[in-house]
Structures are given as structure tokens and as C-alpha cells.
Structure 1
Amino acid sequence: MSMTKRLEPGEHSEPEATPYRIDPADADGKRKIKADSVRQATAWRARCQYRAMDGKRYDLVRWAKTKRQALDALSDALADRKHAAVDGSLKPSTPFVTAGRVWLSEQQRPGPKPKAENTLTAYRGAFERYVDTEGSPLRGLTIAQANDVQRLLVLLQGIADRHGSGAAKMARTVLSGTLDMCVKRRVLQGNAARQTGAVRASEKRADKRDHRKSFTPEERGRVIETADALAGAYGADPRTARKWAMVADLLAFLAGTGVRIGEARALRWEHVNLTTGAVEIHGTKTTSSLRGLNTPEWLRERLERRAKLTGGVGYVFPSPALLDGAESPVDLSNLQDWVRVVLDKAGLEWATSHSFRRTVATMLHSSGVPLVRIADQLGHANPTMTANVYLGRDLRGDKADLAALL
């Protein structure tokens, strides 16, 4: 290799790898000398010259136990040099967790299709549980090191076996999104997470939640009564009373409209007409998420009472931490935990906040409301989503009513 080849800024000479061995004359056993043959090699030196954008030439050297490892280390060093000139944030040697944080911040930026708050929360949760946490096999790795199919497969399979296939799927989404960002920034040439495929748990985990069921009228009323009872039980503690009163009113709103919990959380008083009961829902899932709804009279009266108690400004369901916190949205994770408490106390461990949404769809369908109108109520761009997910088919149930028509 000619080390005097003319190099343009950003170019490097052809890398060379040379075998070395420990000098037997060195008492400390640290000095290395060139090996006479590959068989004698105990270490390899990879070397090349790189010309920086300022015109200076640098001699880059990397050592490793094998030739392949030495050349890979030199390749990473060259990539770092090149990215340092054009991208001050990410390089192949950047810690992978740093890249993950950059990707998460990008997901929060507004755009033509912004991510829903629930989705962002799920991304952050997966990143903090499986990547940026003590004991994570990726936490101490660079971007280049983490971009390894076998390493990612071992991680994802472990997540699937311990936490379920759904958790592994979410973790893979975060990993693949982070690596895709690195590919787009030319930090990496490929995304190893795309090659892992879907990872399944070795044994199916039992799920206490039933995402196919909807509430009966008695169960729906019991949930709201349970929440109201919790609010009344903490009258001596204003902050706790505000919390449970807010949760009770929010659950009533879910029951009376079928909106997503994130949409209810974002509702502001300027979007509510207390005279007519009309509300404007600002969703984030699709363009159909931005929609107008009408509340039933019992819910309109409940909102009217809430407006009188809270002042009727800012968020309808704000954070209960501060008495004057009308402009502070309630934390979604805390809200989900409080809803879980209410549902469990009501004896409905199988239910989730989404059960209200399915219940509204079921009630409207049972009343003969056209599918398109139900989709409008729920904010679905495609009525097929409403039919397939929220109006589950009963293939094995009784069909005597159909037989009577034949």
C-alpha cells in the first residue's frame, strides 16, 4: 500500500492489516513486533491515512486480536471521522442509548401525521424498560455494536419470553426506528432490526384483560358509581378528592362518548358547548379523529356541574396536583393507573379504558345505527376498522333469530 497517495478531503488510503506478536526479549511481555507469519500473530494492527476536511492528514491505527476485528475497528474510526465533519450529533461510536433518545425526541415533533400520546408513551416505556436500563445488553454498546442481528434477536426473544410477544413487538419497533434514523443519517449502512422478523414468546402468557368484551349496562353504571364513591371518600383531602372526582367525570365522559382516553385528556373547555352538549374532539390518530360529537343529556349535566366547580377554563380534566392547574394536563400514565384502580374495585379486572369505546360501539350497533355513523362517533377513517375490531363477530353464539327468518 502506498501511504503517499494523493487524498482529497474526506478520503482515506487503502487499509492494511499487519500481524504482530509479543517480543520474547521483553520481560514485561507488552512490546509487540511484526510476526513472521500469520500463525504467530497474537494481535493485528489495521492502519490507513485519512485526510480531514481541513486538509490535514492523520494516521489512523486500530489494534485487535484478529484481522477482521482490527479492520472493523478501523472502519468504525473512519466513519466517526467522516460523520464528525457533517453531523455533530451521531456517529457509529455514539452510545446506542443516545441515538434512542434522539429518535424519541424526533417522534414528538409536530408533523403531518403526529404520533398519538399513547403511542409516544408506549415508545418511551419500551425504551426505558428494555434499552436504557441497568442490565440491558444494549446500554453499554455503540450504535455500530448494537446493529447486530444475533444480539438483537437474543434481546427480543428474552423480552418475549418474560413479558410477552406484544412487549417484544413494541421493543422491536423502538429498536428498528432508532436504527432506521441512523441509516437515514448515513451513520449505518443497514438496519439489523429489520432482519429479526417477528419474535414470539415460547409460551403464551395468560392475559387477564379481555379486549373483545364490552360492558353490560349494569357494569357501565357500576364503574361510574365506584369512581364517584372514591371521590366522596376523600372529602377531607382536597387534592385526593379532586383526583377521584376528575377520574369519575372522565370515565363518565368515556362512557357517554366512546372517545379514546388520550382524546378525553386533551379536551379543553373552549371545545365544549354546555348549552347544547356539543363537544369538539381533537384526536391525533387520523384526520377523522378531529370530529364533533353530541353528549347525552346526563353527561351534559355532569359537565355543567364540573364547569361550575372548576371554573370552566383550560383543560376539562386537568392534573389534580394543583388547585389552579387548569392549564396542566393530567399525566397519562398516572391516569391509566387510577382508571385501573376504579375498574378493579368495581370487580371488572378484565376491563380497560378501551372497554368504554367498545361498549359505545356495541350499544349503537344494537340500536341499528349504520356502521359509517358509528365510525364517525369513534373517529375511525375506515368503517372496516370499526366492524373488525369493535364489533366482534359471534360465530359460535345462538342464532335462533336468524333461523326464524329462513
Structure 2
Amino acid sequence: MARQSLPLGTYGKVKTWQDGSSWIARAQYRDLDGVVRPVKRRGKSQAAAERSLKEALRDRQTPLKDSEVAPGTKIAKVAELWLAEMETLVDEGTRSPGTYDTYKSVYGTHVKPVLGSLTVREVTTPVVDRVLTTIKKKSSSRARTAKIVISGIMKYAARHGAVTVNPVREVGRIDSTPKRRPRAMTAAERKQWLDAVESSEKARTWDLPDLTRMMLATGCRIGECLAIGWSDVDLEEETVDIAWRLVRRSGAGLSRLSSTKTGVKGERLIPLPSWAVGMLKRRRAVIAPETAPIFPDSLGGWRDPSNVRRVWREIRDDAEMGDLVSHTLRKTVASFLDDADISTRKISDQLGHAKVSMTQDRYLGRRLRDRQTADVLENVIDEV
């Protein structure tokens, strides 16, 4: 009968013998690549040699034990490893810091208290379903995020052989009725908002009038508009390259990250209506040449989107404009283009939404090749 091989990261019987004035202790250790290798240590006595060998074997096992996930491993440990992996992806620029912070927060607030003490084998589909049902009673959006978090943790466990099937896969959809439908601003509301930001000294100090115009000209998110640098603007060609976004990461401050999937410059090259070009030319004339952002803060650096949103809310509340948020301008641009019968593909490219097909995204790029959207947006300011 063939002798059973050692499990990964374990060692066999310790043998000792005297070699002159010292002792040698030796054991066979099976490394992570499956190869069994001898490990030897010397000592002045038999006991000293054995102690030295066991310390070496313990050190050799540590990397495996730190990342080891088994059916009996607590979910809290698996989550810690999964979040550490996520953080590495953030550092590499392949995951959003905001997404990581959200997942970490939802895990700590909603998932860890109910699943953290369970083992991997105890997290079954019925268990996950009950947890998500409880979270959904408080918030459907949090329940959906918690489902993603639990699924990510269990996928990590599956990758390490602790489970064969991700139990979250069989959990039902988390549907909900939106509290309010996304809406576009009317012409009257656009005029009211521009009047409000133009008449407010604080709004002018924070560049809200021109920022509003840039958002209406492009349909970009506020973090994307604030991340535009003068090197991204071509005033002669009347285009702007939406290549960056500003994100505040917990413990790391403000970061300027790629706003596109591939990170290729020119992937979202957007034509500008003439009134936006005029606004940019006026800004270029008064902003110092060495200043990189088109909407710099008081020190010439990048403005923090979170701070701008706070000022936005203050001006909005003073103007009694209800639930107006910066994203409403994005919806306004989409509706404006849709009403003008611009193709869905072009609207998607304008807003930087999900790709229509792999071919168009990877081989043709997401570039607007004519000025149809810019021509339509000529009227978005004329009407206010």
C-alpha cells in the first residue's frame, strides 16, 4: 500500500542524530508547490537541535497559515484576507477606492455582526438569504451591497478550496422600488440654479457657475469635471478629454485616478458646445499658466468633490431647490440628447456608460467622431 503523501504545509517525523560535538534534527516538509524537501537544523544538544528545527518549520508554515482558508475558518478571517486583496487592487489602480471603502463599511456594519463568528461551512444559502432579508428591511441598497460583499468573501473561500459552490449564487434577487425616479431639470430650473450660483459669492468662490456649465456641456460626473486639467482641453479643436476622476480615499487623501476602463487617453474625447469653449477661454485667460486644474482650489490644486458637494447643498437649500444634486445635471444632459433623437450609443459615449460591445470598446474606442452631441447642447444654455 502506497504511503500517503504529506498535506501541503506540513512535515513528517523528526529524526535526530549526533554529528561530532553537535546534534542534527531533520524532517521532511511539503512546500506549497507540492515538493517534499528536507529541513535540517543543528544544536549543541538533541533538544536544542529539535527546538531549532521546529522554529524553522514554524516560520516556513507562517505564510501558508496566514492565508489558509479551510471549511472551519471563521468568516471574519476570510473577510480580512479578501479585503486585504481588494486593497492591493486599489493600490494597483484596478479597483476604485470608493468601492473598497463602501464594501469595508458595509461588511463592518451589516455583515460581520451576523456572519463574522460563523465558519465557512456554516454559511449556507438559507443563512445568507436570512441575513440579506434582515438587512433589506433597513435598506435595499445596503442589502444589495452586502450581497456583493458576502459573495466576494465566499468566492475567496472557494478559490482556496474551502467550499465548492458559492452559496450566494442561489440567493434571490434583491428588488426594490426607487424612492424617486431620476429626473432632468426643466429650463426654468436650469435658469433658477444658474441665477442662484451666479448671485452667491460663496458659489462663485467655489466655481459653481462655471462648473455647472461644464457639467451641462459634457454630462460628466462632478468628480470627473473637477479632475479635468488644461492638458485635457483642446480649445482649438473644441474638445475635452475625460480621462480622470477625483476620489478621496480613507487614510490616503485625494487621488486623481483614471476615469475609463482601459485608462487610454482619448477614450472619451468629447466635443464641446461653443458656450462651453467661451467659458474655458475666459478661465484660461485669468488662471496662472502653471496651474494644472481648470477648476483649481485656492492653492492651485485639485478641488475635493466632497467639499464642492457640501457647498452645492448649501446653495441649493438657500435657493429652495429641493433635492437638486450634481447628478441631476448628468440626467439633464442625457434627457436633452435623447429628446433630440441622438442615438443611445452616442449618449452612452458622452456619459461614459457601459460599453455596447467588446468590439466597439476594444477596437474602435469610445470616441465621439462628429459634433452632433455638441451641436444639440448649444441650446441647453440658450434656454435658461
Q: TM-score range by the shorter chain?
A: 0.5 to 0.7
- Indicate which of 259, 281, 294 corresponds to 1:304: 281
Counterpart in the other structure of 2:252 = none
Q: Aligned-pair distance for 1:325? A: 5.1
Identity of aligned residues (%): 23
- Unaligned residue ranges in structure 1 (runs of 5+): 14-49, 57-80, 235-240, 384-406
What's the Cα RMSD here? Answer: 4.1
Q: Aligned-pair distance for 1:351? A: 4.0
Counterpart in the other structure of 2:224 = 263
Q: Aligned-pair distance for 1:12? A: 11
- Answer yes or no: is the 8 Å Cα contact 1:99–1:143 preserved in 2: no
Q: Aligned-pair distance for 1:300? A: 2.3
- Indicate which of 295, 312, 333 corresponds to 1:360: 333
CA gap 1:360/1:188 in 2 versus in 1, 3 angstroms: same
1:105-184 equivalent positions in 2, closer than 5 A = 105-108=87-90, 114-115=94-95, 117=96, 120-128=97-105, 130-133=106-109, 136-138=112-114, 140-141=116-117, 144=120, 147-163=123-139, 165-184=140-159
1:286-305 equivalent positions in 2, closer than 5 A = 290-305=267-282
State the alpha-carbon separation in 1 of the partners of residues 175 and 349 from structure 2: 35
The yes-or-no answer on 1:101 pairing with 2:83 is: yes
One-letter identity of the residue aligned with 1:168: A
Q: After alignment, is 271-280 or 338-347 more displaced?
A: 338-347
- Indicate which of 7, 30, 34 corresponds to 1:10: 7
| Helix, strand or coil at the partner of 1:316 | coil
Count of residues in Structure 1 that have an aligned counterpart in Structure 2:
294
- Answer yes or no: is the 8 Å Cα contact 2:132–2:147 preserved in 1: yes
Q: Aligned-pair distance for 1:172? A: 0.9
State the alpha-carbon separation in 2 of the partners of residues 367 and 134 from structure 1: 44
Counterpart in the other structure of 1:314 = 292
- Answer yes or no: is the 8 Å Cα contact 1:269–1:314 preserved in 2: yes
CA gap 1:148/1:218 in 2 versus in 1, 3 angstroms: same
CA gap 1:152/1:306 in 2 versus in 1, 3 angstroms: farther
Counterpart in the other structure of 2:356 = 382
1:7-406 equivalent positions in 2, closer than 5 A = 7-10=4-7, 53=31, 86=64, 88-91=66-69, 92-93=73-74, 95-108=77-90, 114-115=94-95, 117=96, 120-128=97-105, 130-133=106-109, 136-138=112-114, 140-141=116-117, 144=120, 147-163=123-139, 165-200=140-175, 207=179, 209-211=180-182, 213-230=183-200, 232-233=201-202, 242=205, 244-245=206-207, 247-282=208-243, 283-284=259-260, 290-311=267-288, 313-317=291-295, 320=297, 323-324=298-299, 326=301, 328=302, 330=304, 332-380=305-353, 381-382=355-356
- Unaligned residue ranges in structure 2 (runs of 5+): 11-27, 32-36, 40-58, 244-258, 358-384
Q: TM-score, normalised by structure 2?
A: 0.61
- Answer yes or no: is the 8 Å Cα contact 1:157–1:200 preserved in 2: no
